[in-house]
Amino acid sequence: MGAGLVSDVARFERVVRLAAMRFATLSAMDSIETLAENVSNCRACPRLVAWREQVAEEKRAAFRDEEYWGRGVPGFGDPDARVVVVGLAPAAHGANRTGRMFTGDRSGDFLYAALYRTGFANQPESVGPGDGLELDDVWITSPVKCAPPANKPTPAERDECAGFLDRELSLLSNARVFVPLGQFGYQATCRFLGVRPRPKFAHGVEVDLGDVGGHRRSIVASFHVSQQNTFTKRLTEPMFDAVLERARELAG
């Protein structure tokens, strides 16, 4: 091997080593707090930014005296959680108003009451930051962090936001059981966890992800807690409680 080639190889190895060190430093520096700040300052999706701000400006009559959050909504809960609930996106007059996931609308009323009944929350009500709500062993998030018109993000918006979900789920180092709410959350969760082929979505469907870092990881899917499902009894309280109890059981 010529001297030139040896020094090229040495230079290449040094570059790789430095890149690995830089990556490790960045990973160690990343945190749930930094991520929350990045999410709330993000303006990457023009349609969603315009919508979340328009809703925040116009407001619903019942909330006209309130200051809407009107930004990306970070995940919420216990950073050491073993159970992670993955919804769809913030609601226009719920999380987009209060700044906290599933807080301030009927879907959230259903979700947090169930979390209280199953021992994951210290109270059934979720009104807004400062209401005393604390979650234990559960984290709540969504694949899209800004409120979309008609609750329907486009595939491009979903893909644009995927990096935030990936960072978030990677930072939740104790996460063992994922509870996606509805097809959208299910697909995003399966994508992050590399589930292939993906079993067909159904309420209560379970996916065993095998052993990861000495712990079993699984998915337990549920219908979404939307009013559309809960008012029609497609999703009832006992059905949803059973999913949460199963998640706790699988978390070990």
Q: Which listed residue (100, 145, 217, 248) binds ligand SF4 by CB under 6 A?
A: 145
- Measured from the CB atom, is 48 or 188 closer to ligand SF4? 48
Residue 192: CB minimum distance to ligand SF4, A: 15
Find tokens 């807080």 and name the residue: 103
Q: Which listed residue (144, 188, 193, 220) binds ligand SF4 by CB under 6 A?
A: 144
Q: Which listed residue (160, 193, 229, 244) binds ligand SF4 by CB under 6 A?
A: 160
The amino acid at 109: D
Judged by CB under 6 A, the number of residues near ligand SF4 is 15
Q: Which listed residue (32, 35, 44, 242) binds ligand SF4 by CB under 6 A?
A: 44
Q: Are 132 and 122 in contact (CB under 8 A)?
A: yes
Q: Are 213 and 207 in contact (CB under 8 A)?
A: no
Partners of 85 in the β-ladder: 140, 179
Cβ atoms within 10 Å, residue 78? 18
Torsion of the alpha carbons at 161, 96, 91 and 247, rounded to the nearest 10: 70
Alpha helices in 120-219 (DSSP H): 155-171, 182-193
Q: Which listed residue (49, 127, 205, 242) binds ligand SF4 by CB under 6 A?
A: 49
- Measured from the CB atom, is 18 or 156 closer to ligand SF4? 156
- Measured from the CB atom, is 69 or 110 closer to ligand SF4? 69
Nearest in space to 113 (alpha carbons), one of 223, 22, 240: 240
Q: Is 157 a binder of ligand SF4 (CB under 6 A)?
A: yes
Q: Which listed residue (32, 42, 205, 209) binds ligand SF4 by CB under 6 A?
A: 42
Measuring CA to CA, how many Å separate 58 from each of 29, 51, 70, 153? Answer: 38, 10, 11, 21
The amino acid at 252: G
Q: Which of residues 162-181 bind ligand SF4 (CB under 6 A)?
A: 164
Q: Which listed residue (51, 55, 72, 97) binds ligand SF4 by CB under 6 A?
A: 72
Find tokens 């998915």 and name the residue: 219
Q: Which listed residue (39, 55, 179, 181) binds ligand SF4 by CB under 6 A?
A: 39
Residue 50: CB minimum distance to ligand SF4, A: 10
Measuring CA to CA, how many Å separate 226 from each of 103, 164, 186, 232? Answer: 13, 23, 15, 10
Residue 184: CB minimum distance to ligand SF4, A: 13
Binding part of the chain for ligand SF4, among 41-49, 75-83, 114-122, 240-248 by CB under 6 A, reads 41-49
Torsion of the alpha carbons at 170, 172, 176 and 179, rounded to the nearest 10: -90
Which residues of this chain interact with ligand SF4, rule CB under 6 A? 39, 42-45, 48-49, 72, 144-146, 157, 160-161, 164
